[in-house]
Structure 1
Amino acid sequence: MTHNYRNILCIRLDNMGDLLMSSPAIAALKETFGAKITVLTSAMAVGVANLIDEIDEVMVYNVPWVKTNEHDKSEAFYSLVEQIRERQFDAAVIFTVYSQSPLPAAMLTYLAGIPVCVGYCRENPYQLINHWVPDKEPYEFIRHQVRRDLDLVSAIGAKTASEHLRLNVPDINEFLLEQKLREAGVNEQQPWLILHPGVSEPKREYPVERWIEAGRRVIDELGYQLLITGAASEKSLAEEIAYGIGTGAFPVAGLFNLNEFIVLVARSPILVSVNTGTIHIAAALGVPTVVLYALTNPQHTPWQVPCKVLPFEVPVEAQSRNEVIVHVNKYFSAQQIPMPCVDDVLNAVKELLAGELQHPVEIQAIYEQ
């Protein structure tokens, strides 16, 4: 069957890391159909959406069925339906994590009169998703999120020549960036790398005392300065870790806007981070990454970039009540995966700096090392 999708709505309603992982699939739609691509996403992801070439237009709405910093009022939902209807899309593609339901987003496309809706679903969605791909994850297998999204669009014939994440390095005021680094105390003549300890959920945190010890050893044994990065809300955490490390560590959380932060990541020889959107920025930029990886979403490891994944279990009392995630947690709880020690972190940094680590084998990187 020949399709003529010239105006496609891609729905990716969560955070910037999720949108970056969907970018190869979005590129496949663009390359295959030559379509205008509009992305409906959250306010938390709009910054990276504007840096992906394959996206022609961005619509922003914070839905109440996805965890974001805030959600828009119900009145705005009806306005959004009309805005979507006015654009006369040929098709909509709903990108989801396997623990999410596509049905609220599908109802949105149905009300807006989009004739073709593509998405995963466990139950038969009938006319809400009329190009339905039965969702077998995670009960039969687990794929990387990028592979999951690529497989979804392949169901309507979309392919891409490159499966790399998409993200442009933005143009910024270089003088202002350098000034901020100097004012923070960073020596421009000495090498530095990034530690990114902040995360939105406490269950994904790596202990502060281990960040401090790891940071001291990176400085003492490898001679790198450390930028302790994060959002403005993570300033206290960055300061606590930097002051604990001592000379050579600089708390810069909240000093940089998103575009400046992306440039910093692009310049860092490696990134050491918890599993958050920052690791997907690094993957899109080809920056080797050490990930202190709480096993909340095991399909979200760095994609197609040299990395070391250091997994650890989420405490039982902090685990999600989502029954799909509960099913996955049973596997990892049986493995008894401990918190990575400081030696693990330091050795991973050394191996990446020496170029000794290559791309992981997608999701198997989590529990086959």
Structure 2
Amino acid sequence: MTRVLAARLDSAGDVLVTEPALRAIAADPRVEALTLLCGPQGRAAAELLPEPDALLSWASPWTLAPAPPATSAHLAELRDAVAAGGYDAAVVFTSFHQSPLPLALVLRTAGIAHITGASTDYPGSLLDVRLRPGEDFPEDQPEVERALRIAAAAGFGLPAGDAGRMRIADPSGAFFGTPAAAAAGLRPDEPYLVLHPGAAAPARMWPPERSRAAVELLTRRGWTVAVTGGPAERELTAAVAGAHGIDLGGRCDLRGTADLLARASALVSGNTGPAHLAAAVGTPVVSLFSPVVPAIRWAPYGVPVELLGDQTAPCRGTRARECPVPGHPCLASVAPEAVAEAVRRIVDRTRSCA
């Protein structure tokens, strides 16, 4: 077992929570080379990970939304790339609501002889090692630990003394070494907070007017607040930053955001990719968590967390991208004052442990 293909086909946050499992594979002396197969939405996160020797990127018709067409040519593109890699084994990482079987079928036809995955459905000859969710392991566990269980079933465990915390390659200088940092007036040696108001799924966003009010309140309490977002979120970040925050919308790539988060006192964010990125660099998170997915599985892992939001709201467990309940009560019920107090608590707790 010398060449291993690990697969995680969804978003940046999904790739980040798989990192400890990839570390387990890479640490095994039998593994000569580890390739990570990721989706285009997870590629930037995959590039931050220290373990893979190589990356393959492919847009999965059964994972991404919106999904690309499932044509024979598109499937052949993946099959041919995998066949060219000469892999001895594959480990397919999925969340509780995903099946490894479509990918396992393509990998099998590409010549991979040993495939591991977690599958509720009967896998037939598609998996050599099958974990049964709910039987072989509990579903109500953090996604980091779920991925580690899948890796362990494939024969890969973390080295002794490795606690399984998420990590990335050192991002130092990726933001603070750029003109954007100087223009923003941020200094890495002075305390600041990061507030990330956006999310790929609107159901996971704190209402923007609440984010703006929180920026105003936090700055009145003496904090410098940097507001982050991607290039498509510039209008949102400008509105949230207002006259009080520092608008960094579209000015940081993912590695720059990691550098910014690594030096921040805390992140305020919904349950979205930057919350997992903060966990990977060891920064505490005030998590405005929409219960459309379970917090026990998807809350930031391995760092101090203040979890806010009504976890019993009617939207819980729906996996909805758009809020199914009028008024978005699970997060709209969280006042800016509650966020400011959560910031105070988490920063005090972190400082007392330093």
- Give the TM-score normalised by structure 2: 0.86
SS in 2 for 1:135: coil
Change (3 A) 1:275 1:137: farther
Amino acid of the structure 2 residue aligned with 1:113: G
CA contact (8 A) 1:12 1:39 kept: yes
Which residue of 2 is the match for residue 292 of structure 1?
Answer: 288
Matched, 1:25 2:21: yes
Q: Identity percentage over the alignment?
A: 28
- Matching residue of 1:109: 107
C-alpha deviation, 1:83, in angstroms = 1.4
Letter in 1 for 2:157: K
SS at match of 1:355: helix
Give the letter aligned to residue 234 of structure 2: K
Which residue number in structure 2 is paired with residue 54 of structure 1?
51
State the match for 2:128 in structure 1. 130
Q: Which 4+ residue blocks in structure 1 deviate beyond 2 angstroms?
A: 67-74, 137-141, 169-177, 181-192, 311-322, 336-344, 356-359
1:106 and 1:117 in contact (8 A); partners too: yes
Q: Give the Cα–Cα distance (whole angstroms) in 1 for the partners of residues 235 and 55 of structure 2.
A: 33
Secondary structure, counterpart of 1:167 in structure 2: coil
Which amino acid in structure 2 is aligned with residue 99 of structure 1?
Answer: H
Q: Which residue of 1 aligns with 2:327?
A: none
Question: 120, 139, 142: which one pairs with 2:140?
Answer: 142
Q: 1:133-212 counterparts in 2 under 5 A?
A: 133-136=131-134, 141-161=139-159, 162=162, 163-170=164-171, 172=173, 177=178, 179-184=179-184, 186=186, 191-212=191-212
* 1: CA distance, partners of 2:302 / 2:100: 27
Matches within 5 A, 1:272-291: 272-291=268-287
1:271 Cα deviation after fit: 0.7
- Point out the structure with the larger helix share: 1
Deviations 1:24-45 (A, max 9, x none): 1111112234411111001121
Residue of structure 2 equivalent to 1:231: 230
The alignment partner of 1:127 has SS state of coil
Structure 1 CA distance for aligned equivalents of residues 39 and 203 of structure 2: 23
Displacement of 1:183 after TM fit? 2.7
Instruction: Find the counterpart in structure 2 of residue 343 from structure 1.
Output: 337
User: Is 41-50 or 310-319 further displaced after alignment?
Assistant: 310-319
Q: Is the 8 A contact 1:306 1:358 kept in 2?
A: no
Q: Which moved more, 1:58-67 or 1:257-266?
A: 257-266
Question: Structure 1 residues 356 and 192 mapped into 2: Cα distance closer, same or farther (>3 Å)?
Answer: closer
Alignment partner, residue 363 of structure 1 = none
The AA in structure 1 aligned to 2:279 is A
Shift of 1:79: 2.1
DSSP 3-state at the match of 2:74: helix
For residue 257 of structure 2, what is the aligned residue in structure 1? 261
Residues 101-154 of structure 1 show CA distances to partners (whole Å, capped at 9, x for unaligned) of: 111111111111111110011122011112111122899641110111111121
> How does 1:49-128 map onto structure 2 within 5 Å?
49-68=46-65, 71=68, 74=71, 75-128=73-126
Unaligned runs of 5+ in 2: 325-329
- 1:71 Cα shift? 3.4
How many aligned positions are there?
Answer: 338
* CA displacement, residues 40-82 of structure 1 (integer Å, 9 cap, x when unaligned): 0011212222222211110000111112566377323202201
Confirm or deny: 8 A CA contact 1:292 1:312 kept in the other structure: no
User: What is the rounded CA distance, in whole Å, between the counterparts of 1:38 and 1:275 in structure 2?
Assistant: 28
The 2-side partners of 1:185 and 1:228 are apart by: 13
Is the alpha carbon distance of 1:271 and 1:175 closer, same or farther for their aligned partners in structure 2, counting shifts above 3 Å?
A: closer
1:239-258 equivalent positions in 2, closer than 5 A:
239-243=238-242, 246-247=243-244, 249-258=245-254
CA 139–31 in structure 1, closer or farther in 2 if over 3 Å, else same: closer
Mapped to 1, the partners of 2:36 and 2:189 lie a distance apart of 42
Give the alignment's TM-score, normalised by structure 1: 0.83
Output the CA distance in 2 between the equivalents of 1:339 and 1:130: 47
Deviations along 1:287-329, one digit per CA (max 9) or x if unpaired, are 111110111222111111111111335664994479xxxxxx9
Tell me, in whole angstroms, the C-alpha distance in 2 between the residues paired with 1:109 and 1:231.
Answer: 33
Distance in 1 (alpha carbons) for counterparts of 2:234 and 2:13: 21
